[in-house]
Amino acid sequence: MIDKQSRQTFPILVLITVASLFVYFVIVTTRTVYSFDESYTMALIRYSFVDIWRITSLDVHPPLYYFMLKSFTFIFGETQLAARVFSWLAVVGIFLLGLFPIRRFWGDGVCLCFILLMSILPVIQFLVVDIRMYSWVMFFITAASLSAYSIFIKPKMSVYAILVFTTLCASYIQYYGFVGSMVIFFLLFIALFLSNQRHSWTRLIPFFLLFLISFSFWLPALITQIRAVDMHFWITSITPKDILLFIYYTFSPKEPAHPYLIFTLPQMAVVLSIMLIFIGLILIEVVRLYKQKEFRETILTAMCFALVFVLTISFALLYSYIKSPVIIPRYTTTVLGPMLIAVSIGSAQILKREKERYLIFIFFGLLTVLGITRFFAEDRYNEEILKEDREMRKFISNETQTKRAFISTLNAAGTLGMFSVNYPSNLFFVYSPRKNRGSLRPFHLIEVNRLPEDFDFFYIRNRYLPTDTVGPKQDLYFRSKIKQHYIITDSLIQYERSIYKFRTIHRDRENISD
């Protein structure tokens, strides 16, 4: 029940939500350069729905997100801004889940904690702008976990249907969504069984079977992808450094792959260490609360929501150690919603205790500092990337040809794919002396096994990591084979990529004779 005091509090919750979403929308409008994954997304949605199904069946993600984004951009324009707004809308949906079902189940205190977490948690700044599926999986998994809880406390047929719908959407968007959905069903079955809700337990079975049957249409593609991942996948083996990154990723003051621009690694390490200490103290306090009968049921509820996150990530880590690495930090955001609900429930209970509430105040204060720091760190990084993008556009526009040719070796095909999205209506060739077994789609790249001889072109090169032994060899082979026909007339070296203007020698001779 919503009492009079709660009605007076609701406008404040709405105001915080609107202010936070406005800040996130500002971030959306200022991010104007694609990452590789975003370029992949924008290239893929230019295909038909049938082709998207086929291409994703050969990749490592199901197709629903791309279907949704293609439909959205068909209405609002196939632009970068429209695609980022689509990710922002998923975060809007998560805020609405906080304002309505979460508030209805646990009251204003838990609702406020959840909205504040969504407002200040640094990783949300990544989810709100990234043209990928993670924010939408997080939305559907959060909705599914709330539906499962609703079934547990007051089962309704309509809520069973919502549970199937949200878990199917999460599963058809990303495989962590599928694992998270299975965990939600598993926990709900156990909770109903232990609470002697036999009728609800029995009723859940056909809905669970409906979920499995509906997802089985993608099963052949899933089996093929599992085999491909087991043979070769781009994710590297998990190291102790990766485990540490998983622990602090959600509240990191910068995207881990980005350089340190406004603070140093030691400074970040100190702040994150303090944060981990307070998280540990809060966990100790939660255990103390659990020992008290008046808090036990509420803490158990929070633990069940936390288990959706913990069991999903544990399964991914276990599979990564036993079979093949399939986990990177950003994948953990797909099941972050239930964990935020758990943290919100626990925080609201600790806030009721005068002596211990300072832990929550400091925790939220540190998160606010980290969130603000991330805003300025990513804004600075975005400025650097925009500067490089302007330099690149100027470099390419100096060429007078209307249709330009770009070439890369197979190792740099991903970077060339980004160029194909940023500079469409040009020709993009991937040189590979041997037939490439993989697919270059969704990028519109042409694989060739012959070296160029009689036309000018831009040569795209990666920034090779010390562990990359293949890329430099491909680059050296390509350059050595064409040096008798070409000279480099100009170049631009950037942090992640390099570009060179190759001009045919005979063309220079023609200009001299003229």
Nearest residue to 252 (alpha-carbon basis) of 235, 237, 268: 268
Last residue of a domain, one of 324, 359, 386: 386
Residues of the chain with pLDDT under 70: 1-6, 230-234, 399-401, 464-467, 506-514
Q: Is 196 left (phi over 0), alpha (psi -120 to 50) or beta?
A: left
Beta-ladder partners of 447: 430
pLDDT digits (tens, 9 = 90+) for 409-422: 998 999 999 999 99
Last residue of a domain, one of 386, 415, 448: 386
pLDDT of 466 reads 61
- For residues 336 and 465, membership in a common domain is answered with no
- For residues 212 and 291, membership in a common domain is answered with yes
- For residues 164 and 280, membership in a common domain is answered with yes
Nearest residue to 419 (alpha-carbon basis) of 497, 504, 482, 501: 497
Is 154 contained in some domain? yes
- For residues 341 and 443, membership in a common domain is answered with no
Q: If residue 471 lies in a helix (H) or strand (E), which one and from where to where?
A: helix 470-482
Is 392 contained in some domain? no
- For residues 298 and 333, membership in a common domain is answered with yes
pLDDT of 512 reads 45
- Cβ(429)–Cβ(406) below 8 Å: yes
Domain span at residue 135 reads: 4-386
Last residue of a domain, one of 325, 358, 386: 386
Residue 410 class from Cβ within 10 Å (0-12 exposed, 13-18 middle, 19+ buried)?
A: buried
Is 270 contained in some domain? yes
**Full DSSP string of 26-56:** HHHHH--S--HHHHHHHHHTTS-HHHHHHHH
**Full DSSP string of 180-221:** HHHHHHHHHHHHHHHTT-HHHHHHHHHHHHHHHHHHGGGHHH
d(CA 362, CA 375): 20
> In whole angstroms, what separates CA 75 from the centre of its chain?
24
Is 212 contained in some domain? yes
- For residues 453 and 480, membership in a common domain is answered with yes
- The residues near 58 (Cβ < 8 Å, ≥ 6 apart) are 224, 225, 439
Which tokens sit at 197? Answer: 């809700």
d(CA 244, CA 242): 5
Beta-ladder partners of 222: none
- For residues 428 and 457, membership in a common domain is answered with yes
3 state DSSP class of 447: strand
Sheet harboring 446-448: ordered strands across?
Answer: 446-448, 427-431, 405-409, 457-462, 497-504, 486-493
d(CA 478, CA 54): 32
Which tokens sit at 158? Answer: 């309509």
d(CA 381, CA 30): 12
pLDDT of 471 reads 78
**Full DSSP string of 107-166:** -HHHHHHHHHHHHH-TTHHHHTT-SSSHHHHHHHHHHHHHHHHHHHHS--HHHHHHHHHH
Neighbours of 386 (CB within 10 A): 14
- Report residue 490: phi and psi, to 5°: -165, 160
Is 391 contained in some domain? no
- For residues 176 and 202, membership in a common domain is answered with yes
d(CA 187, CA 300): 12
Neighbours of 18 (CB within 10 A): 11
- For residues 132 and 248, membership in a common domain is answered with yes
**Full DSSP string of 254-311:** S-TTSPPSSS-HHHHHHHHHHHHHHHHHHHHHHHHHHTSHHHHHHHHHHHHHHHHHHH
- For residues 336 and 473, membership in a common domain is answered with no
- For residues 442 and 358, membership in a common domain is answered with no
pLDDT of 2 reads 53
Which tokens sit at 3? Answer: 């009492």
pLDDT of 4 reads 59
Is 394 contained in some domain? no
Is 290 contained in some domain? yes
Nearest residue to 432 (alpha-carbon basis) of 407, 464, 467, 468: 407
CB burial of 32-60 (b: ≥16 within 10 Å; e: otherwise) equals ebbbebbbbbbbbbebeeeebbebbbebb
Work out how many domains the chain is built from and give that number: 2
3 state DSSP class of 446: strand
- For residues 129 and 226, membership in a common domain is answered with yes
Rounded to two decimals, the pTM is 0.94
Is 417 contained in some domain? yes
